[in-house]
Amino acid sequence: MSETSDQKKTRPQGRRLLLTLAGVALGMFGFGFALVPLYDIFCEVTGIRLIDNGRVSASEVQFEPTDEERWVTVHFDAAVDRGLPWEFGPSEKFMKVKVGEVSETLYLAQNQSSEAVIGHAVPSVAPAQASIYFAKTECFCFTQQRLEAGESQEMPVRFVIDPALPKNTKVLTLSYRFYKYDEESGTLAKADRS
């Protein structure tokens, strides 16, 4: 059986497509490996030093000296995913903090179920562009939290606000959302939103 001219034309195009796709896949694989050193370079250039799952080392928090005494208000917010049977909230809603100094607050959690449950908090800072100036040196969000049936726990957060925070930013919001942690899969078990 002889090939038609259309089949002869298609074969080289198919090979080119296959080689192109293989090249793209190989490039993506290489890019994934390059992200770690690129991230390290980014942290070195910007002065960010991260350890232990995103925690900023307290010894690494250094700011340019300033004679200015500046205060901002930090609003503390909390939420719990529907799949986690906990009560969770800040011990205080607002705190006035001096920029460049270490501050600390507490969040309170209580397991409302009749069995032990593991949760993991996901933090966020608003406004988003101010998040790079908010350094947490100690936080319950760095690890999973296990609460036995009915157990209550105080969860401290220690943080510093960089004096380089834009002057027009007077209020920051530190928010946490707690999710149930699934030990088997090693993932956060988010409740179905439908």
Compute CA distances 49 → 17, 36, 56, 100, 153, whole Å: 43, 14, 6, 17, 29
> Which string of b and e fits 22-55 if b means at least 16 CB within 10 Å?
eeeeeeeeeeeeeeeeeeeeeeeeeeeeeeeeeb
pLDDT at residue 52 in the model: 42
Q: Quick one: pLDDT band at residue 62, thresholds 50, 70, 90?
A: low
Q: Quick one: pLDDT band at residue 96, thresholds 50, 70, 90?
A: very high
Least confident range from 32-36, 59-63, 118-122: namely 59-63
Residue 57, pLDDT > 70, answer no
Closest C-alpha to 118, from 141, 145, 142: 145
DSSP 1: -
> Where would I find the H helices in the chain?
5-46
Q: Quick one: pLDDT band at residue 182, thresholds 50, 70, 90?
A: confident
pLDDT at residue 158 in the model: 95
DSSP 114: S
